[in-house]
Every structure is written in C-alpha cells, then in structure tokens.
Amino acid sequence: MQTSLIQNAHGDLVADAAYDFYGVRLATCSLDHRIKIWQLDESDGTWTAVADWKAHDAAVTKLSWAHPEFGPVLASSSFDRTVKVWEETPADGADQPQANGASAAASGPGTRWVERAVLADAKGSVRAVEFAPHQLGLKLATIASDNHLRVYECLEAPALTNWTLVEEADLPALPSTSASHPHTYAAPTPTQISGPPAADASLVANALQQQQQQPLTQRGAGSREADGGWSVSWCKERYWGEVLATCSGVSGVVKIIQLSPSRRPITLLSLDPSPPVDSGSISEDMTAPYAITSVSWAPSCGRSYHLVATGGRDGHVRVWKLRPSSPDDERMEGSDEAKWTGGVVGDFDHHKSAVGRVEWNITGTVLSSAGNDGRIRLWKATTGNIWRPAGYITVEQAEEQQKEGDVEMDDGNPGE
C-alpha cells in the first residue's frame, strides 16, 4: 500500500483533513486556527503546502470541499461558533468583496483563497460541516454543540456571498415517523469482538484543554461538552432526496433525518447500538452509552441498501445496513412516508480507544477508521458480506515507507 507522510503539518493538533474531489489536493485544519492546502506531486507522491492562512479565531474543527461544478470552494467550522465559506480565486481578483473585510490567503501560482461568507447562527461551537451532494444544489449542513442541525443554501452561485438558513432542527426533539419503534437495536454479529472497555479520551475539545487526555472514571459517557460527539453525513443517492445521518451530544444514537421543503424535518430511523431496556430490569450498574464521534454514509454504487459507518468514544467501529421501504410496502401500509429499517452488520473494537474518524472509499466498499491508538485501520466485506479487518497502518510504518517504498499492511489481528 502506498502512503505519504506530511511531517509537522501544523503548529498544533490537526483536527481534520479532507481530500478534494480528484484526490490531488488536501485541506487540513488545526487547533492553531489555521487552514492549509496541500498539492500532490503525482510523480513522487509528495505533498507541498500551496496555501496557509489564519481562518478562525479559535480551533478549526472540520473541513468540506464543494463539488467541483461549483468551483474550488471550501467550508470550515470552528469553536468560534462560525462556519466560513472560502473560494480560490485568481490573485488579481483578490480585491473583490470579502466577508467582514477578511484578507485573502495566497495559494498556488496566481491564486488566492478568499473568505466569501461567515455563517454565525450557532449557539455553541460548530463541530461538523458538510456540503450536500451536488444534485441537491449548493447546500451546506452543520451541527453545533447546541445540538442543532442547520442547513444553508446559496441561491446566488457563483457569488457565494449570500447564504440562506433554509432549515434548523433541534436534533433531540425531532419527531419520528414511527412512535412505537423509532429505534433499531444492534444485535451481535459474527464480526463483533467483545472485551472490556478501555480508558477513553476526548479529541478536539480535550485538546483545547492543553491536550491532556482525561480517562473516564466510569463506563459510559458524561454530560460535559468534552464527552460529546457531533457529526453529519449526507446520503449520496439522489433518489431518496435530502436524507442525512446525524449524531449529537452524548446520547450514542445516530438519527437518519429527512428534509423536505413542505414540512419540518423528521427522523426516519434511530440507530442505537445499546440493547433495549426492560423497565422492570433496570439495575444500578447500568450506565449511559458512549457518544458517537463520527458518521459516514457510503456511496451506494447500485446497491439496494445503504451502508452507514459510525465511530464512538467506546472504541467501536460499526457498519450499519439500512433498507428503505419499497413503494409496494408503502402502499400496503397506506402511508406516503418511507419506513426505514436497519441493523449492525459489523462491530469492531480493535482500536481499544476512542475512534475519531470513519470514512469510506469512493465506491463504498472499504471503510477506514482512525483512533486514539495511533492507527488507521481498514475494514472490508468478504464472501457472504461478512465484514472483516483488512489491516492497519501506523505513523512508524509510513515513515519507513518513505525510506524503503510501499508499506505492507498489518493483518489487523484482534489482539493488536
């Protein structure tokens, strides 16, 4: 496997990294308030910084590239409670109007990154931002620590200066399409690895506290912001309209949300990895679930079902299989709303520590995860659609690869 390593990319902890559509440019952000753009030299696999600027007044938490049909556009979220939209423009156009009088940042030869918009509706730190699939227009979904999902739309592209808040929803209060069974229980699977929970540590918020890892004193999540998780991922398939997977706070539940211009957002399905609780069997040693820190919706690539991956502070990487109801099922039930079902088809605890990020490849067939164990792990479905570890790589291996050539992935032994 070919890898690259960027040494000393930022002056502080790197919070996020995002490839552009073509995979030849990489945007990174950090607790140092800065964003950097890196360009790949395909001849030798090295990355060179072509842009570097102070983007926010606090730690930058997440980045997202817009589809290239809208041009070189980047969105960033931050602990300063804002989302900013940036555009790469010709250097001679740097005197064009910019949001709040912000200065442009030098980029590659003859270009600059210009701040086009500042979205400041959040009542807490903005933890996640993602552009919608291009067929839905130039839209942007954000989630802040106030547990609100906000969706913005730019109706005057390519100007990029005027964004309208078209949807805002309090995620914990969203109604479900089914009052009796809004949740799906994740039963154990052949891939599930059991074992005692490891000491956990928060990621971005904890790093703001002098990067001190604070192990939990008891199993389960706390109630502080540092114990929570916030993430959003759009469904990539145009047939189902505006559907997102979201998580917020310390609930440990992922909600599948449907947006519609004719009604308020609704919860199609709630993905809860904890077993159902019988009111007559609650014991004192039962504890709250761990927060989900990352959600990623896989490209469908012609499948009749959807795959959603989650990573949590409990160290688990889970793969969920979702099935929307067919039109025949909806007619039989006399309902115009799609009834979604889902369950876990893969559950792994190899990281043995908090999982910070999960991400799919372009075909939705290989899942990668990054954890506090310092490893990037790969997961893949084998014969019979059984999900298995496909190996992992560490920083040490990447450093060795730079000296000797391609690195060989370790086999992902459960004991690792």
Q: Give pLDDT tens digits for 368-391.
A: 999 999 999 999 999 888 999 999
Nearest to 88 by CA among 25, 22, 11: 25
Nearest to 42 by CA among 22, 63, 70: 22
Q: How confident is the model at residue 223 (pLDDT cuts 50, 70, 90)?
A: low
- The answer, yes or no, to whether residue 206 has pLDDT greater than 60, is no
Lowest mean pLDDT, pick from 17-21, 153-157, 212-216: 212-216
User: Distance of CA 66 to CAs 49, 72, 89, 136, 138, Å?
Assistant: 20, 7, 15, 12, 8
Percent of the chain with pLDDT over 70: 73
Looking at per-residue confidence, does 396 or 358 come out higher?
358
What integer pLDDT is reported at residue 287 of this predicted model? 55
3-state SS class at 331 = helix
Lowest mean pLDDT, pick from 29-43, 179-193, 316-330, 367-381: 179-193
**Mean pLDDT, rounded, for 135-153:** 96
Looking at per-residue confidence, does 214 or 297 come out higher?
297
Contact 162, 171 (CB under 8 A): no
- The answer, yes or no, to whether residue 242 has pLDDT greater than 80, is yes
What integer pLDDT is reported at residue 7 of this predicted model? 85
**Mean pLDDT, rounded, for 67-88:** 97
Going along 32-82, which residue ranges are E strands?
34-41, 46-54, 60-65, 73-78
- The highest-confidence range among 154-158, 182-186, 198-202, 404-408, by mean pLDDT, is 154-158
- The answer, yes or no, to whether residue 205 has pLDDT greater than 70, is no
As to burial, measured by CB atoms within 10 angstroms (0-12 exposed, 13-18 middle, 19+ buried), residue 225 is: middle
Lowest mean pLDDT, pick from 123-137, 250-264, 266-280, 368-382: 266-280
Looking at per-residue confidence, does 70 or 106 come out higher?
70
Tally of residues, the chain: 416
What is the per-residue DSSP string for 83-138? EEEEEEEEGGGTTS--GGGPPPEE-STTEEEEEEEEE---SS-EEEEEEPPGGG-S
Looking at per-residue confidence, does 408 or 173 come out higher?
173
What integer pLDDT is reported at residue 104 of this predicted model? 57
| Angle subtended at Cα 126 by Cα 356 and Cα 118, rounded to the nearest 5 degrees | 135
Lowest mean pLDDT, pick from 177-181, 245-249, 288-292, 367-371: 177-181
- The answer, yes or no, to whether residue 2 has pLDDT greater than 90, is no
- The answer, yes or no, to whether residue 413 has pLDDT greater than 90, is no
Lowest mean pLDDT, pick from 20-24, 34-38, 100-104, 136-140: 100-104
What integer pLDDT is reported at residue 227 of this predicted model? 87
Element (H, E) at 395: helix 395-404
What integer pLDDT is reported at residue 329 of this predicted model? 58
Lowest mean pLDDT, pick from 103-107, 136-140, 218-222, 361-365: 218-222
Q: Cα Rg for the chain, rounded, in angstroms? A: 21
**Mean pLDDT, rounded, for 292-316:** 94
**Count of CB atoms within 10 A of residue 2's CB?**
8
